[in-house]
């Protein structure tokens, strides 16, 4: 699971710029109050009807009134989900449908959403989140005391009258700033609430504009067909003429093929045989010549056979008829060749005529990217339908925009958006994102005034001993809870992370605390100046370092096991600048396999972050 975005409205201490904060895999530093951000994320990832009672409200009113939040995340199933919750109304979970490119509803029941997020999306259970994936300043041993023996904080010297006056002045200035920030936050929340209500009122127009946008997108897909239709002009007439020309061409090709078939039969017989190669020609000529010579000889001798010379005439006539027939057949064969040329020229003329008539249509087919006239007709029909749909949506949008109520709401939304941007800029400039709650500042102011009045100058005020934590030693509680979630014994758990925890401890303490180990029961031991010291006997500040080192090692192990999300607040505020910079580098390294959200305004961590929201 990886978080992509969260939004908040009306939640004190969580005021992202513009109402939304984008997140990325890796180390993210978020400008927000750590406990408030954690409670908000828990209310979104583990929704419960009583969440509104635990969240800090930015304004007054009943629980949940004006408090809204949203979360976009990618689950372990590689699907994007969006969770939207109005703490006074209800909750909705949507799944992104890649085919429709839109979010589809999943559920509106808190119990179903909680189970779906756990089983399908990969949201860790609250116990696993608290034990392995969350780091909070409230868990530090110095904040809770020790269940083994009471730990007293170092005696604090009472403030001198001059110091008390300076501290009171500082606190009064901080209180004024906190009240001013509270007023600005309420102003931002009120504008965000008004903008949300205007968005709901203008949703009908947004749906109309979305419909028009979808219609324009569908029409844009037909731009090629529309361009083809525009190039044709009167498309139906051009297509009808093209079909008639195609029919004429087909008929001409059929006739030419039949003509060529008959001509091919004549060509197959070949050219007529010349008479001088024909036997009848030579037979007639030879007989005629023989009869003529015989008749002449008979006439010379005075024989009656001279009349036989008359038979030479039909013999020569036969030879002449054979020659004349050859001439006729030769002329017919030559006419076949001329006819073939005529057929070729006629076919070429028909082809050129059809090509001239079909040139525009062929260009339109190529432009539209279709194969034939039926497909082009269908595409042009779709263009006409799409144009009609676009015109209808435009008419509806124009009618809606012309309505006086819609104009008033749109103008008001523009004004509210401008006021919201100005209020957010003012809030960011004057409050720096968030400040301490006025109630806590007032409490500290009262305490300082009471201490200054009760303790004479120069004397020390001894605070009451720390109360033992109800759950026992915080370090042991941490080990036992983490072991229960990891399914291992406390000793095995500590041994598994001892190397990483020792490196973190050594860096945070600047080599003063050298290594960390544990026995089979999970009792922690620390190497200090070459000797083993039970962790329970260390000063509160050193136990905080041990706690941080161990928790960081557990965070790294949990994130390395799979893509997950860890949450941390400003638990490093009490460390030195060098220790905080070392912790920043360590957090960036820990976050590489998954995602870590760190709520802080400390520049040491913002500089090291992969992304700052």
Domains: count for the chain: 2
Q: What are phi and psi for residue 502, nearest 5 degrees?
A: -65, -40
- With respect to residue 284, please indicate whether it lies within any of the assigned structural domains: yes
pLDDT digits (tens, 9 = 90+) for 367-408: 888 788 788 888 888 888 888 999 999 998 888 888 888 888
Residues in Cβ contact with 73 at an 8 Å cutoff, skipping those fewer than 6 apart: 1, 2, 3, 4, 80, 81, 83, 121
pLDDT score for 437: 57
Considering only CA atoms, which of 541, 496, 537, 543 is closest in space to residue 517?
A: 496
Q: Provide DSSP, 234-301.
A: SHHHHHHHHHHHHHHHHHHHHHHHHHHHHHHHHHHH-SPPPGGG-HHHHHHHHHHHHHHHHHHHHHHH
Q: Tell me which residue range forms the domain holding 306.
A: 234-369
- With respect to residue 416, please indicate whether it lies within any of the assigned structural domains: no
Least confident of 322-331, 416-425, 475-484, 566-575: 322-331
Least confident of 343-357, 438-452, 492-506: 438-452
Q: Cα–Cα distance between 363 and 260 in angstroms, integer?
A: 32
Q: How many CB atoms lie within 10 A of CB 1?
A: 20
Q: Which two tokens stand for residue 536?
A: 């329970």
| Residue that wins the pLDDT comparison between 443 and 112 | 112
Q: Cα–Cα distance between 385 and 380 in angstroms, integer?
A: 9
Report strand pairing: 80-86 vs 68-74: antiparallel
- With respect to residue 529, please indicate whether it lies within any of the assigned structural domains: no
> CA dihedral defined by 234, 237, 238, 243, rounded to 10 degrees?
160
Could you give the 3-state DSSP secondary structure of residue 356?
A: helix
316, 334, 369 - which closes a domain:
369
Task: Give yes or no for residue 438 having a pLDDT over 80.
Answer: no
Considering only CA atoms, which of 524, 538, 531, 541 is closest in space to residue 576?
A: 541
Percent of the chain whose predicted confidence (pLDDT) is above 70: 86
Q: Cα–Cα distance between 323 and 321 in angstroms, integer?
A: 5
Averaged pLDDT, 320-337: 74
Task: Give yes or no for residue 463 having a pLDDT over 80.
Answer: no
pLDDT score for 268: 66
pLDDT score for 271: 62
369, 398, 429 - which closes a domain:
369
Could you give the 3-state DSSP secondary structure of residue 8?
A: strand
| H/E element, 198 | helix 161-201
For residue 64, the domain's CATH number is 3.40.50.300
Confidence band, pLDDT 50/70/90 cuts, at residue 420: confident
- With respect to residue 29, please indicate whether it lies within any of the assigned structural domains: yes
Cross-strand bridge partners of residue 103: 96
Q: Rounded mean pLDDT of the chain?
A: 79
Q: Which two tokens stand for residue 552?
A: 């960081």
Q: How many CB atoms lie within 10 A of CB 463?
A: 11
Q: Cα–Cα distance between 235 and 432 in angstroms, integer?
A: 66
Task: Give yes or no for residue 567 having a pLDDT over 90.
Answer: yes
Q: What are phi and psi for residue 527, nearest 5 degrees?
A: -85, 115
User: 């303490």: which residue's tokens?
Assistant: 509
Least confident of 24-28, 86-90, 508-512: 86-90
- With respect to residue 466, please indicate whether it lies within any of the assigned structural domains: no
- With respect to residue 182, please indicate whether it lies within any of the assigned structural domains: no
- With respect to residue 492, please indicate whether it lies within any of the assigned structural domains: no
299, 334, 369 - which closes a domain:
369
Q: Which two tokens stand for residue 281?
A: 């020609």
Could you give the 3-state DSSP secondary structure of residue 525?
A: strand
- With respect to residue 606, please indicate whether it lies within any of the assigned structural domains: no
Cross-strand bridge partners of residue 83: 71, 93
Q: Cα–Cα distance between 303 and 85 in angstroms, integer?
A: 145
pLDDT score for 462: 45
Q: Which two tokens stand for residue 425?
A: 């800029």
């Amino acid at each position: 699971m990886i978080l992509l975005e969260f939004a908040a409205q009306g939640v004190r201490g969580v005021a992202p710029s513009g109402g939304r904060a984008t997140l990325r895999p890796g180390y993210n530093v978020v400008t927000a109050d750590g406990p408030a951000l954690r409670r908000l994320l828990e209310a979104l990832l583990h929704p419960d009807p009583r969440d509104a009672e635990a969240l800090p409200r930015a304004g007054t009113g009943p629980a949940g009134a004006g408090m809204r939040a949203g979360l976009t995340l990618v689950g372990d199933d590689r699907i994007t989900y969006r969770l939207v919750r109005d703490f006074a109304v209800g909750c909705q979970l949507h799944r992104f449908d890649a085919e429709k490119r839109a979010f589809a509803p999943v559920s509106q029941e808190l119990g179903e959403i909680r189970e779906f997020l756990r089983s399908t999306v990969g949201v860790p259970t609250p116990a696993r989140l608290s034990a392995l994936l969350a780091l909070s300043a409230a868990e530090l041993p110095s904040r809770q005391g020790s269940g083994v023996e009471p730990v007293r904080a170092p005696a604090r010297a009472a403030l001198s009258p001059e110091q008390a006056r300076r501290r009171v002045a500082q606190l009064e200035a901080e209180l004024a700033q906190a009240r001013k920030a509270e007023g600005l936050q309420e102003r931002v929340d009120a504008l965000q609430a008004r903008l949300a209500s205007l968005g709901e009122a203008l949703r009908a127009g947004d749906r109309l504009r979305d419909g028009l946008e979808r219609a324009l997108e569908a029409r844009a897909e037909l731009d090629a067909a529309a361009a083809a239709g525009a190039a044709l002009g009167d498309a139906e007439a051009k297509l009808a003429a093209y079909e008639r020309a195609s029919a004429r061409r087909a008929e001409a090709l059929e006739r030419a093929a039949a003509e060529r078939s008959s001509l091919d039969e004549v060509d197959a017989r070949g050219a007529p045989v010349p008479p001088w190669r024909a036997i009848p020609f030579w037979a007639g000529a030879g007989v005629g010549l023989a009869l003529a010579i015989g008749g002449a000889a008979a006439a010379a001798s005075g024989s009656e056979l001279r009349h036989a010379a008359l038979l030479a005439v039909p013999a020569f006539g036969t030879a002449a008829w054979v020659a004349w027939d050859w001439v006729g057949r030769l002329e017919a064969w030559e006419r076949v060749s001329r006819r073939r040329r005529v057929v070729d020229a006629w076919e070429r003329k028909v082809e050129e005529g059809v090509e001239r008539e079909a040139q525009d249509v062929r260009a339109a087919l190529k432009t539209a990217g279709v194969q034939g006239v039926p497909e082009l007709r269908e595409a042009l029909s779709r263009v006409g339908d799409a144009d009609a749909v676009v015109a209808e949506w435009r008419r509806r949008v124009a009618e809606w925009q012309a309505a006086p109520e819609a104009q008033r709401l749109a103008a008001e939304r523009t004004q509210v958006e401008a006021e919201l941007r100005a209020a957010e800029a003012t809030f960011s400039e004057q409050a720096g994102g968030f400040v301490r709650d006025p109630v806590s500042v007032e409490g500290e102011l009262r305490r300082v005034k009471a201490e200054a009045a009760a303790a004479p100058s120069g004397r020390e005020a001894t605070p009451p001993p720390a109360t033992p934590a109800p759950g026992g030693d915080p370090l042991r509680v941490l080990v036992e809870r983490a072991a229960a979630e990891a399914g291992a014994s406390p000793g095995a758990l500590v041994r598994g992370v001892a190397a990483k925890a020792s490196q973190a401890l050594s860096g945070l303490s600047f080599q003063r605390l050298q290594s960390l180990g544990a026995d089979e029961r999970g009792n922690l031991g620390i190497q200090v100046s070459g000797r083993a010291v039970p962790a329970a006997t260390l000063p509160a500040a050193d136990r905080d370092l041990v706690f941080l080192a161990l928790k960081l090692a557990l965070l790294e192990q949990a994130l390395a096991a799979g893509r997950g999300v860890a949450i941390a607040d400003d638990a490093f505020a009490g460390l030195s600048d060098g220790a905080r910079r070392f912790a920043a580098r360590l957090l960036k390294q820990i976050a590489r396999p998954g995602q870590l959200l760190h709520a802080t305004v400390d520049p040491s961590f913002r500089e090291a972050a992969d992304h700052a929201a």
